[in-house]
Structure 1
Amino acid sequence: MQRPCVVLYCRVKGIIPRGEDMFPQEIENHPVDVREGSCSFAANTIRAGDKIKSENRTWTGTLGGFVNCAGSKNNAFITCAHVLYQRKDLGENLEKLSRKTEQNVSVSINDKWHTTGRVRRAVFNNTKEEEVSVDAALVDLTDCSFGNDGQFSETYSRKQLQGTGIYGQRTISFSSGKIETINSNNKKNVFLKVGAESGLTAGQFCGPIHPKLDNLNDEYSPSIYLYHQIEIVPLSKETPFLKSGDSGSFIFMLKNTNPVELTCVGIAVASTSHGSCIMTPISRVLEALKLPENSLSVFENSSVNTNPEYVTNEALVNLLKIQTDTLKDFLQENTENIKTEITELSKRIKTVEDKISNNLEERRQDQRK
Structure 2
Amino acid sequence: MSFVHITGRLESDEAAAVIALAEAAHDHDGVAPLSEQTLLRVRHGAAPGTTRFHLIFEETGSRPATLAGFAYTERGPGEPDSAEVVVLPNRRRRGHGATLLRSLVEDAGPDGVRVWAHGRSEGAVALARSFGWTQVRGLLKMRLRLRGDGAAESVPSEQVLPERPLPEPVLSDAVADRLVIRTFRVGADESAWLKANAAAFADHPEQGGVTLDDLRQREAEAWFDPEGFFVAEETETGAIAGFHWTKTHADGAGLTDGEPVGEVYVVGVDPAWQGTGLGRALTLVGLHHLRDRGLPWVLLYVDEENRAAVGLYESLGFTLWDADVMYAAP
Rg comparison, structure with higher value: 1
Fold-level similarity (TM above 0.5): no
Query: TM-score, normalized by length of structure 2?
Result: 0.23
Larger relative helix fraction = 2
TM-score, normalisation: structure 1: 0.21
